């Protein structure tokens, strides 16, 4: 029988890997050198989290699974990350080629996700899967910094020039609806209960709302009302961007299976 | 608005304390929009390899530096006064590291 917490572990691993891969796209392209290094640091934090989680998942799964086979040899429908994390660094109107990568989109996404991750890691440190609790204890320190970095930038952009305000608000409008997936019938509530962790939707959601609201207010940004499309990456049904992300990330491992260096 | 001063973030000097009890040492500089921003960037740029336990950032504009052309007047008079080096004194063993 599969370990009951396995779907949760894979979900967390996929979140970390996919966002890590996305943010790494800024490497060599960030608006200033210092931010280039900062975003690459965050990517490495996330990929580090993904590795620990995949190692744990592979152990739970047995049957020859490894962190590499989980990261590099699964197809998009097997990935369980939130759709939010696979979206490109620009709004829905990519065709206007205003910008290939929009810094505000990246930072608003990190802001929305790291607030959720803070709540998740905090809860998991209390769980009775000791390995997952240890991973959570390590990850929460990194996530606190990601949150600080991203929310600081959201305030700077939102409360900055009219152009940065416009872009930050557009990013909030574009990305906020995808956060509904965080709370949509918590797919992993049962898995979490098995390891003694209560995800209590209302409590988790109200903590998240408070974190987000305080920063948005300081940033002069407005939160769009909930509703509309509900994404479902967490169920393996992804946006059209996911396969492009995976094919770039997995190309080496797929072309040269079992390659070592 | 086309001058660098108007469009570029100001420069900050970064000091890192490598461990408790040691002094902060200058390790480099970076551009940032204000002090807290500089602090964040210093963390990302200068402490990635566990270099430190504490950071200072100082606006470079606040540092008054000696002029290169004053070098001879300022520093050369000390070159023949070797008696100022403490190597002529014996340090008692129980003083330990100085």
Q: How high is the ipTM of this complex?
A: 0.74
Residue A138, in any domain of the structure = yes
**Looking at CA atoms only, how far is residue A152 from chain B in angstroms?**
8
Instruction: Indicate the residue of B9, B31, B48 with minimum beta-carbon distance to A41.
Output: B48
| Interior angle at CA A183, CA A65 and CA A15, nearest 5 | 30
Residue A1, in any domain of the structure = no
- Residue-level pLDDT, tens digit, chain A, 261 residues: 678 899 999 999 999 999 999 999 999 999 889 999 999 999 999 999 999 999 999 999 999 999 999 999 999 999 999 999 999 998 876 554 445 789 999 999 999 999 999 999 999 999 999 999 999 999 999 999 999 999 999 999 999 999 999 999 999 999 999 999 998 866 678 888 888 888 876 889 999 999 999 999 999 999 999 888 899 999 999 999 999 999 999 999 999 988 887
**A27: contact with B, CB 8 A cutoff:** no
What pLDDT does residue A5 have? 92
Q: What is the DSSP letter of A153?
A: H
**A161: contact with B, CB 8 A cutoff:** no
| Paired residues of B13 in beta bridges | B29, B58
Q: What whole-number distance in Å separates Cα of residue A88 and Cα of residue A102? A: 9
Residue A260, in any domain of the structure = no
Contacts of range A225-230, beta carbons closer than 8 Å, 24 or more positions apart: A226/A177, A226/A180, A227/A177, A228/A177, A229/A177, A230/A180, A230/A181, A230/A184
Instruction: Indicate the residue of A34, A37, A38 with minimum beta-carbon distance to B31.
Output: A34
Higher pLDDT, A11 or B81: A11
**Looking at CA atoms only, how far is residue B69 from chain A in angstroms?**
33
Name the closest residue on chain A to residue B32, using Cα atoms. A34
**Chain B: which residues have CB within 8 Å of chain A?**
9, 30-33, 36-37, 40-41, 43-45, 48
Q: Are residues A186 and A197 in contact, defined by beta-carbon separation less than 8 angstroms?
A: no
Residue range B10-19: mean pLDDT, rounded: 95
**A51: contact with B, CB 8 A cutoff:** no
Instruction: Indicate the residue of B9, B31, B40 with minimum beta-carbon distance to A152.
Output: B40
Whether B3 shows a pLDDT value over 80: the answer reads no
Taking contacts as CB-CB distances below 8 angstroms, the residues of chain B near A145 are 43
Q: What is the pTM of this model?
A: 0.86
Q: Show the tokens assigned to A141.
A: 């320190």
Residue A245, in any domain of the structure = yes
Give residue A146's domain range: 6-255
Q: Are residues A104 and A158 in contact, defined by beta-carbon separation less than 8 angstroms?
A: no
Q: Are residues A47 and A17 in contact, defined by beta-carbon separation less than 8 angstroms?
A: yes
To the nearest whole percent, how much of chain B has pLDDT over 90? 54
Residue A149, in any domain of the structure = yes
Residue A135, in any domain of the structure = yes
Residue range B20-41: mean pLDDT, rounded: 93
Helical ranges in chain A per DSSP H:
6-24, 33-61, 67-72, 103-124, 130-158, 162-175, 180-183, 189-194, 201-218, 242-255
Taking contacts as CB-CB distances below 8 angstroms, the residues of chain A near B37 are 152, 156
**A148: contact with B, CB 8 A cutoff:** yes
Residue A247, in any domain of the structure = yes
Residue A173, in any domain of the structure = yes
B40·A37 Cβ contact <8 A = no
> To which H or E segment does residue B15 belong?
strand B11-17
Domain count, chain A: 1
A32·B40 Cβ contact <8 A = no
What's the CATH code of the domain at A51?
A: 1.20.1260.10
């Amino acid at each position: 029988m599969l370990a009951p917490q396995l779907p949760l572990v894979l979900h967390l691993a996929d979140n970390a890997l996919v966002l890590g891969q996305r943010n790494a796209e800024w490497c060599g392209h960030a608006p200033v050198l210092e931010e280039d290094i900062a975003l690459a640091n965050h990517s490495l934090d996330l990929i580090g989290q993904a590795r620990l989680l995949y190692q744990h998942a592979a152990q739970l799964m047995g049957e020859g699974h490894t962190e590499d086979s989980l990261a590099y040899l699964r197809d998009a429908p097997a990935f369980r990350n939130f759709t939010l994390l696979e979206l490109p660094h620009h709004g829905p109107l990519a065709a206007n080629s205003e910008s290939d990568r929009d810094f505000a989109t990246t930072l608003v996404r990190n802001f929305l996700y790291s607030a959720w991750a803070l709540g998740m890691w905090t809860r998991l440190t209390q769980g009775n899967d000791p390995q997952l609790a240890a991973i959570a204890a390590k990850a929460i320190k990194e996530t606190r910094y990601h949150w600080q970095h991203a929310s600081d930038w959201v305030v700077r952009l939102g409360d900055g020039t009219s152009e940065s305000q416009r872009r930050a608000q557009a990013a909030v409008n574009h990305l906020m609806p995808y956060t509904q997936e965080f709370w949509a019938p918590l797919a992993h509530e049962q898995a979490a209960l098995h390891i003694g962790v209560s995800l209590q939707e209302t409590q988790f959601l109200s903590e998240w709302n408070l974190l987000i609201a305080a920063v948005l207010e300081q940033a002069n940004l407005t939160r769009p009302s909930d509703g509309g499309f509900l994404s479902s990456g967490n169920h393996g049904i992804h946006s059209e961007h996911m396969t492009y992300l995976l094919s770039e990330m997995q190309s080496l491992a797929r072309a040269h299976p079992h390659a070592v260096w | 608005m086309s001058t660098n001063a108007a469009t570029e973030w100001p420069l900050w000097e970064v000091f890192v304390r490598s461990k408790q009890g040691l002094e902060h040492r200058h390790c480099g500089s970076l551009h940032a929009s204000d002090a807290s921003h500089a602090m964040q960037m210093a963390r990302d740029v200068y402490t990635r390899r566990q270099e430190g336990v504490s950071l200072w950032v100082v606006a470079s504009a606040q540092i008054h530096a000696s002029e290169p052309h004053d070098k001879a007047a300022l520093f050369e008079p000390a070159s023949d006064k070797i008696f100022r080096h403490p190597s002529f004194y014996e340090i008692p063993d129980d003083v330990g590291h100085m």
